[in-house]
Structure 1
Amino acid sequence: MKLRQVASGWEFESEKDLEDLVWNNLEKLFGYKPLKRQYQVSGQYCDILAFGKNKELVIIELKNSEDRYIVQQLTRYYDALIDEKPFPEHINFQVPVVLIAVTPNFHRDNYTDRKYHQLKFNFLQFKIICQEPKFNLNIINVDTTLNWKLDFDYSLENHIKKDIPAPPKRFYQLIEKCKPQEHSKLFKFRETILQFDDRMQEIAKEGGIYYGNGKTKHCAELRLDSKKELVLFLWLPRNFLWEQQGNIFRFRIWTDWNNATIVMPVSRGLGKVNPTRIEFAKQDAKNRSLNIFIYEALRRWFERI
């Protein structure tokens, strides 16, 4: 199993890593007996099939990131398995099938699809928590708040970070006037972004530095304003603070490199920001971690690549 460190914490390197952990601890987590993983039916592959104490069939679909079609996917598995009726020695098809979706986040369309569905779907949201030297997988039912916790070992010594190139000259020019205590945070900011994906590029230009891929798929930008102060821009959904959905826009971010808030959307250049608005942003940012903003920008960037 492999993990990777991201701005908001930790995530599985791949969906298979998540599946391995759940499959190997299925009884410990949920009390279900494992039947088969990656079971093929009607040309489709079900992540995990299991059964409960009443011989009910349990279908578990795992996602390592938000997926707006997980309800439809489980529906197709259900239909195919009801027709085939496999594992008759273990399954009683006269009792209701248990359908479980496991993902770090649920898309709002998942809730809409489930709302008007005849079948019952269990939405389980997971998060990896690091409490060195231990890690644990926290899973919560988003409807009942019933939760499960699985402790597991993961050696940080085996966690190899991708080598990143030395900062370009332009980076040092940009951070030159920052406070000395902010320098380490800015280097960490750069490392977090460049470690995220092998396709992530650092594009130094006269106006500043872009982080992304090509001319259009950006997730972050650093540049100096008219006062020669460092300004951060992130590409985020329009309604990020409320629904975390919507079209992607370039936002100017106020930050002290610990906390942050959106100041305003700016299509190009620096935008004109009222000093009063900056003061309001400082108050608004007190309980908002910059890492949350960065991680959302990285996740959205990855979806658009």
Structure 2
Amino acid sequence: MKLRQVASGWEFESEKDLEDLVWNNLEKLFGYKPLKRQYQVSGQYCDILAFGKNKELVIIELKNSEDRYIVQQLTRYYHALLDEQPFSEHINFQVPIVLIAVTPNFHRDNHIDRKYHQLKFNFLQFKIIYHDQKFSLNIINTDTTLNWKLDFDYLPENHVNKNIPTPPKRFYQLIEKCTPQQRAKLLKFRETILQFDDRMEEIVQEGGIYYGKGKTKYCAELRLNSKKELVLFLWLPRNFYSGSQANSTRMRIWTDWNNAAIVRPAAKGLGRITSFDIEFAKQNSKNQSLDIFLYHALNKWFERI
């Protein structure tokens, strides 16, 4: 799935990206069981077919931009599927078929076509919201104001410089005692940092490895503690999650390598994280992948150099 940033916010790069997200989260969003996507009937392709708790057929047509003919398109699908009656083991064709149009905007002709139509059409309008370093798909029924929200991870693919050097010997020394899962995450962590901007440097020192611009503007640090365990630091604003514009501060990051869970100031040394902090973080994690967290941290860091 890919997004692109536009003047009004964010949008899907293609209709397929929208379809992938809806299809993979169909039950979570609407409670419908998926049947088939891009189903061919009478020379036409239905975006998504599903069924509800009463075995009713659900036809979902998705548009990544305004389309004045979406009502006619759903009408043709309705006719062809009613005539063919596929998926008889799942569908009761004696129950009314549900017709759903999903689009970021509805053309005025869509409303006129629906007004004088014999069939019932559900108009769902979607928008991608970016807030608090998270993306969500927000969908609203234009008639009932019933709404759905789906949070999703997305790592934008900009600021990429593919030619990154082989990790230095010191890097492998630092990750020597890590698990295979942690090593894979750390290699990805390093790759994300170095690919983010061509000004980013990898600086090997006796105590560990720093990432940043020169030897005075660091954004990340890897080092070992007294138990030879790897410790991660990022230079973040103290109120990173609230979008504060305060000066950056060296923060220690505790992670389970799936979620960025604890952020604590550590201006010098290793800082301190208690067992209570760790237990609290496990139960109250923001459930945001480390890669996504790092991307937003790097964005904030580069705003300040």
Note the alpha carbon deviations across 1:99-122, whole angstroms, 9 max, x for none: 000000000000000000000000
| 8 Å Cα contact 1:60/1:101 also seen in 2 | yes
Question: Secondary structure at the residue paired with 2:99?
Answer: strand
Q: In structure 2, what is the Cα distance between the partners aligned to 1:155 and 1:32?
A: 28
Question: Secondary structure at the residue paired with 1:16?
Answer: helix
Matches within 5 A, 1:65-84: 65-84=65-84
- 1:13 equivalent in structure 2: 13
- 2:106 equivalent in structure 1: 106
Q: Which amino acid aligns with 2:12?
A: F
- 1:28 equivalent in structure 2: 28
Greater Rg over alpha carbons, structure: 2
- 1:87 equivalent in structure 2: 87
| 8 Å Cα contact 1:63/1:104 also seen in 2 | yes
- 2:3 equivalent in structure 1: 3
- 2:199 equivalent in structure 1: none
| 8 Å Cα contact 1:137/1:149 also seen in 2 | yes
Deviation, 1:133, is: 2.3
Q: Which amino acid aligns with 1:84?
A: E
Q: Which amino acid aligns with 2:138?
A: N
**Distance verdict in 2 for CA 1:160–1:84, change over 3 Å:** farther
**Distance verdict in 2 for CA 1:130–1:91, change over 3 Å:** same
Segments ≥4 residues shifted beyond 2 Å: 158-161
What percent identity do the matched residue pairs reach? 88
Q: In structure 2, what is the Cα distance between the partners aligned to 1:116 and 1:97?
A: 18
Question: Secondary structure at the residue paired with 1:78?
Answer: helix
Question: Secondary structure at the residue paired with 1:29?
Answer: helix
Q: In structure 1, what is the Cα distance between the partners aligned to 2:11 and 2:107?
A: 18
Question: Secondary structure at the residue paired with 1:55?
Answer: coil
**Distance verdict in 2 for CA 1:129–1:99, change over 3 Å:** same
Note the alpha carbon deviations across 1:122-154, whole angstroms, 9 max, x for none: 000000001142100000000000000000000
Q: In structure 2, what is the Cα distance between the partners aligned to 1:47 and 1:31?
A: 17
Moved more, 129-138 or 86-95: 129-138
Q: Which amino acid aligns with 2:142?
A: V
Q: In structure 1, what is the Cα distance between the partners aligned to 2:2 and 2:158?
A: 8
- 2:144 equivalent in structure 1: 144
Question: Secondary structure at the residue paired with 2:92?
Answer: coil
Question: Secondary structure at the residue paired with 1:87?
Answer: coil
Deviation, 1:159, is: 3.8
- 2:193 equivalent in structure 1: none
- 2:196 equivalent in structure 1: none
Q: Which amino acid aligns with 1:133?
A: Q
Matched, 1:128 2:128: yes
**Distance verdict in 2 for CA 1:9–1:66, change over 3 Å:** same
Question: Secondary structure at the residue paired with 2:77?
Answer: helix
Question: Secondary structure at the residue paired with 1:101?
Answer: strand
Question: Secondary structure at the residue paired with 2:110?
Answer: helix
- 2:274 equivalent in structure 1: none
- 1:153 equivalent in structure 2: 153
Note the alpha carbon deviations across 1:252-276, whole angstroms, 9 max, x for none: xxxxxxxxxxxxxxxxxxxxxxxxx
**Distance verdict in 2 for CA 1:112–1:54, change over 3 Å:** same
Give unmatched runs, 5+ long, in structure 2: 161-305
Q: In structure 2, what is the Cα distance between the partners aligned to 1:159 and 1:119?
A: 45
Q: In structure 1, what is the Cα distance between the partners aligned to 2:159 and 2:114?
A: 40
Q: In structure 2, what is the Cα distance between the partners aligned to 1:146 and 1:28?
A: 15
Deviation, 1:38, is: 0.1
| 8 Å Cα contact 1:3/1:159 also seen in 2 | no
Q: In structure 1, what is the Cα distance between the partners aligned to 2:97 and 2:8?
A: 35
Deviation, 1:160, is: 5.5
Deviation, 1:155, is: 1.2
